[in-house]
């Protein structure tokens, strides 16, 4: 590996120092000189991950405790994997917001009792993709701008879902009028809280992005002691191990649909991880190279393991990874600390009941907004890609994630085919070849 020069000049004119990344085995997982930094970063990122994980679990129609257990387990797997096959060095695992509506679709279609089998099947497909290193071909088949469009459609779903929390009132308020004093009060509180969060984020996003989360959660909890506002309730569901098998009443038709559903879930999860890795590499404090296939190894192992306790899918999220970096993380030991921090709340869920719904709404609405704003990244692909990304996002929002992405890909292929056959009189076989060459070029730009 090369070296990374880190500017540590102070007002006294101290010279810059060269920081050389350690190359010994296990350097990605733990280095004693970074113990305190990684510990502090893990605690800060863990505190930020709690409300995000709660919101994503709610959006996915999963029990909150199961979502937190998934994150804790993925952190343990990610840290162990870093000893042998590091994918990235500061990425923080968690349940992905972009997959929440997909999981909710699975719960609604197959029932929560069959989702463990779906997650196991998803992990098995990801294991095949990892073994043959097929993730690079997925980026060729699904252009980056279509993925950005898909995430924008999902972001809109998340934004609208949690906007309902901004005007929800306590059940003990009995009135025939929808707009009453209690509802006006919570709307004002939600608006102020959201504005306060946005202000703090804009001020601290490049230095301490966890501050807005801390401020909103602590401020909301204190306000809830003086004013009656709806609170999050975490059901203390039991976590137990069992084989991830489908229920006996699952028909062959449903089983086939499960396979297609899991294929979509596996592909989206892999592509999101590859895109996250590209961004995580850019923010690595020592500029270490990431290995997306090694990251995929940790993902499918964590997914397969979590299926045995009814868990969800995971990946290294960019928001948590950025917070981890800015909080001072240098190795994956910070991820282990995150896992321990979240584990405390898994066994002490009563403390999570102090989180007001309006505070969670602000966090998740902001998450949805950031996913929509990701369309800005598409502009460098040109107006056609931007238009198609908007179409994909609209289709995902209106007709569904799987159907929307497939329709957008079909539209893209049809337009590409018609342009070259009608205007250049190019044979169909040559058009298809050129189509995949262009997609390969797009994927290389992403990486």
pLDDT digits (tens, 9 = 90+) for 72-87: 999 999 999 999 999 9
8: confidence class by pLDDT, cuts 50, 70, 90: very low
More confident residue, 157 or 140: 157
46 and 182 belong to one structural domain: yes
pLDDT at 422 > cutoff 50: yes
Residue 6 maps to a domain: no
Residue 223 maps to a domain: yes
3-state secondary structure 117-171: HHHHHHHHHHHHHHHCCCHHHHHHHCCHHHHHHHHHHHHHHHHHHHHHHHCCCCC
* 349/343 Cα distance (integer angstroms): 10
Task: Give the three-state DSSP class for 95.
Answer: coil
Residue 436 maps to a domain: yes
Residue 15 maps to a domain: no
Residue listed under structure tokens 């901004």? 166
296 and 336 belong to one structural domain: yes
* The pair of three-digit structure tokens given for residue 86, joined into one six-digit string: 């590091």
CB atoms within 10 A of CB 87: 24
Residue range 162-166: mean pLDDT, rounded: 92
The pLDDT mean for the chain works out to 85
346 and 395 belong to one structural domain: no
pLDDT at 147 > cutoff 90: no
109: confidence class by pLDDT, cuts 50, 70, 90: very high
297 and 153 belong to one structural domain: yes
More confident residue, 68 or 170: 68
Q: Which of 373, 388, 420 is the last residue of a domain?
A: 373
Distinct helix (H) and strand (E) counts, the chain? 16, 4
63 and 146 belong to one structural domain: yes
Weakest mean pLDDT among 80-84, 168-172, 209-213, 286-290 = 168-172
312 and 440 belong to one structural domain: no
pLDDT at 379 > cutoff 80: yes
Domain of 427 in residue numbering reads as 375-446
What is the number of domains present in the chain? Answer: 2
Please give the pLDDT value at position 444: 52
Please give the pLDDT value at position 435: 57
Residue 24 maps to a domain: no
Secondary structure element (H or E) that encloses residue 67, with its range: helix 64-84
Residue 157 maps to a domain: yes
Weakest mean pLDDT among 4-13, 143-152, 166-175 = 4-13
Closest to 162 in 3D by CA, of 128, 197, 137, 134: 197
More confident residue, 209 or 113: 113
Residue range 349-357: mean pLDDT, rounded: 91
pTM above 0.75? yes
Task: Give the three-state DSSP class for 5.
Answer: strand
Residue 27 maps to a domain: no
367 and 379 belong to one structural domain: no
Report percent pLDDT > 90 for the chain: 48
344 and 417 belong to one structural domain: no
23: confidence class by pLDDT, cuts 50, 70, 90: low
Q: Which of 353, 373, 393 is the last residue of a domain?
A: 373
112 and 225 belong to one structural domain: yes
280 and 426 belong to one structural domain: no
Please give the pLDDT value at position 77: 96
Q: Which of 311, 340, 373 is the last residue of a domain?
A: 373
Q: Is 263 exposed, middle or buried (0-12, 13-18, 19+ CB in 10 A)?
A: middle
Calculate the alpha carbon distances from 377 to 147, 252, 370, 437 in Å: 11, 42, 11, 21
124: confidence class by pLDDT, cuts 50, 70, 90: very high
265 and 122 belong to one structural domain: yes
Residue 406 maps to a domain: yes
360 and 391 belong to one structural domain: no
């Amino acid at each position: 590996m090369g070296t990374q020069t880190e500017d540590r000049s102070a007002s006294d004119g101290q010279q810059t120092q060269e920081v050389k990344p350690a190359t010994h085995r296990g350097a990605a997982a733990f280095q004693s000189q970074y113990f305190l930094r990684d510990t502090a970063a893990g605690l800060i990122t863990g505190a930020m991950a709690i409300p995000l994980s709660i919101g994503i679990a709610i959006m996915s129609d999963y029990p909150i405790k199961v979502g937190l257990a998934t994150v804790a387990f993925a952190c343990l797997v990610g840290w162990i994997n870093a000893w042998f096959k590091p994918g990235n060095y500061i990425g923080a695992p968690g349940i992905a917001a972009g997959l929440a509506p997909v999981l909710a679709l699975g719960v609604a279609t197959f029932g929560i009792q069959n989702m463990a089998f779906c997650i196991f099947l998803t992990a098995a497909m990801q294991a095949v993709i990892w073994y043959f290193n097929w993730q690079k071909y997925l980026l060729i088949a699904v252009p980056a701008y279509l993925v950005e469009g898909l995430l924008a459609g999902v972001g809109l779903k998340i934004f609208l879902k949690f906007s309902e929390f901004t005007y929800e009132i306590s059940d003990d308020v009995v009135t025939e009028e929808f707009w009453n004093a209690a509802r006006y009060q919570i709307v004002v509180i939600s608006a102020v809280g959201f504005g306060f969060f946005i202000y703090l984020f804009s001020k601290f996003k490049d230095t301490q992005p966890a501050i807005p989360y801390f401020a909103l959660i602590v401020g909301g909890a204190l306000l809830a002691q003086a004013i009656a506002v709806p609170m999050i309730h975490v059901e203390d569901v039991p976590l137990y191990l069992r084989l991830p098998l489908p229920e006996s009443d699952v028909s062959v038709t449903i089983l086939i649909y499960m396979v297609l559903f899991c294929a979509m879930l596996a592909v989206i999860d892999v592509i999101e991880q590859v895109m996250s890795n590209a961004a995580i590499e850019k923010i690595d404090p020592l500029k270490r190279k990431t290995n997306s296939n090694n990251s995929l190894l940790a993902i499918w192992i964590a997914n397969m393991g979590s299926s045995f306790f009814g868990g969800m899918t995971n990946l290294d999220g960019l928001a948590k990874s950025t917070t981890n970096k800015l909080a001072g993380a240098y190795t994956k030991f910070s991820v282990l600390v995150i896992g321990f921090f979240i584990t405390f709340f898994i066994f002490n869920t009563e403390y999570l009941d102090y989180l007001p719904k309006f505070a969670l709404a602000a966090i998740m609405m902001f998450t949805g907004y950031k996913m929509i704003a990701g369309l800005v990244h598409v502009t460098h692909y040109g107006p056609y890609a931007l238009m198609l990304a908007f179409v994909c996002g609209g289709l995902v929002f209106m007709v569904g994630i799987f159907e929307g992405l497939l329709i957008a890909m079909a539209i893209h292929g049809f337009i590409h085919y018609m342009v070259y056959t009608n205007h250049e009189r190019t044979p169909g076989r040559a058009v298809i070849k050129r189509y995949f060459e262009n997609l390969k070029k797009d994927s290389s730009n992403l990486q």
